[in-house]
Amino acid sequence: MKKEPDRAFAKLAPKFVILHFDTRNGRAPHVARLKVKRNQTYALVLQPDSTEIARIEKPADLKPVVALMKKALKKK
């Protein structure tokens, strides 16, 4: 089992705020602007004004999340 995605994630993670939202009745009250479905997993990259830069729906492992984070850093 390769650890590259884990190491890459560990290097990139300090540059991001990583949150886990547990929704109730489909949405948490403070994420009304995000288009999310109930009981779904997303990796989202947001700008400071909470507009979405990019997203991945149902990431299976860290590899696509790392790619998303790298993509977001390039857009900054």
Predicted confidence at residue 30, as pLDDT, reads 63
Please give the residue range of the domain that contains residue 57.
Answer: 4-75
Higher pLDDT, 3 or 72: 72
**Residue that the structure tokens 């979405």 belong to:** 52
Number of domains in the chain: 1
pLDDT digit string, tens, across residues 26-71: 556 666 677 877 778 888 888 888 788 889 999 888 899 999 999 8
Dist. CA 70–CA 38, nearest whole Å: 27
10-34 mean pLDDT: 74
Report pTM: 0.72
Who contacts 50 (Cβ-Cβ below 8 Å, separation ≥6)? 33, 34
